[in-house]
A and B are shown apart, each in its own frame.
Chain A
Amino acid sequence: MFRHTMLFLGHELGNLRRNPAWPILGIMQPVLYLLLFAPLLTSITPNGTLEEALVVFTPAALMMIALFGSMFAGFGMINETRNGVLERLAVSQAWRPAIILGRVAKDMIMLVLQSLVILGVAALMGLRIGLPAMGLMLLLMAVTGLFAANLSYGLALAVRDENGMSQIVQFFLLPLMLLSGLMLPMSVAPDWMQTAARFNPLYYAVEAGRAMFAGDYSDSTIPTAFGLFLVLGVLTLTWSVRSLRKLAG
């Protein structure tokens, strides 16, 4: 089981190595946000410094790649429902969950590597965080990726159509993003929006990231975010593996 997951992971990483342009393009958007949006936030931070703004905005920039990167991971798999790759794998000796898990593991690794680049840019701009905060943040990115990628593969296998899938993903992305306090913290939002945000798992991830960056490890959003994404990750994995089984009708 583990061996098959590693085999699929190796194959996926091989494809990534042969064609590294896309993940590099994928981090351009959050880097631009860091450079051109984070400075605007200095007007709402207590002392108005860029470092304060970066503590607030860097976790959000990281969550952006989780959302706009991993949520689209499934697109590649739609093609594999048509070119016969999944069909062949389904009747091979492969352990079926490994087909999804190997790909998800690749997405998680990619996400962590992209996060390191973003953190590097933020550090150059003046963000100063300790190693524990950085380590925890990367771990949080990994579990977020676990959820987002599994969800994306599940959707891809259920919808099996690029146009439909992109509409569905876009439909959910915007409200998820706006109600997570990704751009501006939810603390500046009216009450009803704050209430609505509590039903958005991404809100906890963004808040947990901010708490960790501010050195506030006792914040309740940290265990909530980790727990939530682990549970959601397992649920979406089960869903996508089931969808894989239904491929044959």
Chain B
Amino acid sequence: MIIEAHDLRKTFTARRGRGKTEEVEAVRGIDLSVGEGEIFACLGPNGAGKTTTVRMLATFTVPTSGTARVAGFDVVKEAAKVREKIGYVGQAGGIDDNAPGRESLVMAARIAGLSRAQALGRADELMAAFSLTEIADRPVKTLSGGQKRRFSLAIGLVNRPPLVFLDEPTTGLDPQNRANLWDEIRALRDQGTSVLLTTHYLDEADALCDRLVIVDHGRIVAEGTAAELKKEVAGDVVTLRLDDLAAARGLLDAEPYIKETQEEGGSLRAYLDDGEHNLPALLRALEAGGLAIRSISLDRATLDDVFLKHTGRSLRDAA
């Protein structure tokens, strides 16, 4: 295991006006284990405690309680050793806007202990890998969002870390750049690098990650592979809009092929396996109960349904 965390907690003391303080529990007991060569995601809404968790694991923030070992070292007592083994790409990017990207890259390499010649070589290597060579000598502030993000990633990889932390790596990127970044993250894994990333995009966690945890209000609410988690809910989901939600819910709960029902934002979501075959039976049941359907749709269950099952709200609505 490249990351092993036990009961990590972080409480911030926030100032609220004159002399008043408020305790904010950002992380309330998180256990994590990430294997070597895995892409692991923390999925959750904004404010769930994802960034604080990553910052604790990356030795930036000291946990209030709990322990964590990263690459075999304790994040508090052996922080310096951990820092040799990790790459960290924060949400803000962390590049000097006024300097050319090459300059920042060489500088980061030299901080990691490389000589000037080695650092120049390593920078060239990374810039070639991320198609940055042509824009290497332009001030970073003149680059596009995607180009900046690639420079941030290159800087995070400068010390050839066995583990990289990526805090919301694709937020704000257009679909094309996002897909490219996914490919680059997969390439990292294929070279044996472990990746821990945070995201609030369901499709990102689903498509990119080997395993994930869903985080809400500073706690882990579900853990597993995306397939396992979705299976736990059901294969398919029927979303219904009708006038008497409660009556429909009671009626469907009695049907043997319905695994679970959830009310969400004026609609009823019924979880079932083999939706195509069971849909006619569902329609007959509602008709027999005299309930008029205003709209109906059948979809594959997503990680949002997993989130809904565990928190009672949709990830889209959770702020």
Are A and B physically bound partners? Answer: yes
B92 touches A82 (CB 8 A): yes
Q: Is B29's beta carbon under 8 Å from chain A?
A: no
Collect the chain B residues with CB atoms within 8 Å of residue A7's CB.
107, 110-111
B94 touches A19 (CB 8 A): no
Collect the chain B residues with CB atoms within 8 Å of residue A249's CB.
12, 61
Q: Is A248's beta carbon under 8 Å from chain B?
A: yes
| Distance, CA A15 to CA B88, complexed state (A) | 24
B61 touches A19 (CB 8 A): no
- Residue of chain A at shortest CB distance from B86: A91
Binds A, one of B33-41, B52-60, B254-262, B265-273: B52-60
| Distance, CA A92 to CA B108, complexed state (A) | 8
Given contacts A7-B107, A249-B12, contact A88 B94 (CB under 8 A): yes
A84 touches B99 (CB 8 A): no
Residue from B61, B91, B113, B156 within 8 A of A248 (CB atoms)? B61
A248 touches B94 (CB 8 A): no
B83 touches A85 (CB 8 A): no
Q: Is B62's beta carbon under 8 Å from chain A?
A: yes
Chain A proximity of B74: nearest CB distance (Å) = 15
A84 touches B93 (CB 8 A): yes
Collect the chain A residues with CB atoms within 8 Å of residue B99's CB.
11, 14-15, 18
Q: Is A4's beta carbon under 8 Å from chain B?
A: yes
B94 touches A94 (CB 8 A): no
> Of residues 22 to 64 in B, which have CB atoms within 8 Å of A's CB atoms?
55, 58-62
A11 touches B92 (CB 8 A): no
Convert A69-95 into 0s and 1s, putting 1 for each residue whose CB lies closer than 8 angstroms to a CB of B.
000000000001011110111111110
| Distance, CA A19 to CA B96, complexed state (A) | 14
Q: Is B97's beta carbon under 8 Å from chain A?
A: yes
| Distance, CA A156 to CA B93, complexed state (A) | 20
B95 touches A91 (CB 8 A): no
Interface size of B by CB at 8 A reads: 34
A84 touches B98 (CB 8 A): no
Residue from A15, A80, A85, A90 within 8 A of B60 (CB atoms)? A90
Majority SS at the chain A contact face: helix
| Distance, CA A249 to CA B96, complexed state (A) | 23
Collect the chain A residues with CB atoms within 8 Å of residue B84's CB.
93
Given contacts A92-B83, A93-B159, A249-B12, contact A15 B96 (CB under 8 A): yes
A84 touches B103 (CB 8 A): no
Q: Is B80's beta carbon under 8 Å from chain A?
A: yes
B98 touches A85 (CB 8 A): no
B60 touches A248 (CB 8 A): yes
B88 touches A91 (CB 8 A): yes
Chain A proximity of B103: nearest CB distance (Å) = 6
A84 touches B91 (CB 8 A): yes
Convert A45-80 into 0s and 1s, putting 1 for each residue whose CB lies closer than 8 angstroms to a CB of B.
000000000000000000000000000000000001
| Distance, CA A83 to CA B62, complexed state (A) | 21
Q: Is B90's beta carbon under 8 Å from chain A?
A: yes
| Distance, CA A15 to CA B110, complexed state (A) | 17
B103 touches A14 (CB 8 A): yes
Q: Is B112's beta carbon under 8 Å from chain A?
A: yes
| Distance, CA A88 to CA B139, complexed state (A) | 19
Collect the chain A residues with CB atoms within 8 Å of residue B103's CB.
11, 14
Chain B proximity of A71: nearest CB distance (Å) = 21
B80 touches A93 (CB 8 A): yes
B98 touches A19 (CB 8 A): yes
Collect the chain B residues with CB atoms within 8 Å of residue A80's CB.
96
| Distance, CA A82 to CA B97, complexed state (A) | 12
A91 touches B111 (CB 8 A): no
Given contacts A11-B99, A15-B98, A93-B83, contact A88 B110 (CB under 8 A): no
Chain B proximity of A102: nearest CB distance (Å) = 11
Residue from A19, A88, A94 within 8 A of B88 (CB atoms)? A88
Chain B proximity of A100: nearest CB distance (Å) = 15
| Distance, CA A84 to CA B156, complexed state (A) | 12
| Distance, CA A7 to CA B93, complexed state (A) | 21
- Residue of chain B at shortest CB distance from A99: B111
Residue from A15, A19, A85 within 8 A of B95 (CB atoms)? A85
A83 touches B95 (CB 8 A): yes
Collect the chain B residues with CB atoms within 8 Å of residue A87's CB.
60, 88, 90, 92, 94
A85 touches B94 (CB 8 A): yes
Q: Is B155's beta carbon under 8 Å from chain A?
A: yes
Chain A proximity of B165: nearest CB distance (Å) = 9
> Of residues 94 to 123 in B, which have CB atoms within 8 Å of A's CB atoms?
94-99, 103, 107-108, 110-113
Chain A proximity of B116: nearest CB distance (Å) = 10
For the A-B complex with A11-B103, A15-B98 known, give 10 more contacts whose Cβ atoms are closer than 8 Å: A7-B107, A18-B98, A83-B94, A87-B90, A87-B94, A88-B90, A88-B108, A91-B83, A93-B113, A248-B61
Would you list 19 pairs from A and B whose C-beta atoms are within 8 A, ordered by A residue? A4-B111, A7-B107, A11-B96, A11-B107, A18-B99, A80-B96, A82-B92, A83-B92, A83-B95, A83-B97, A84-B91, A87-B90, A87-B92, A87-B94, A91-B59, A91-B83, A93-B80, A248-B61, A249-B12
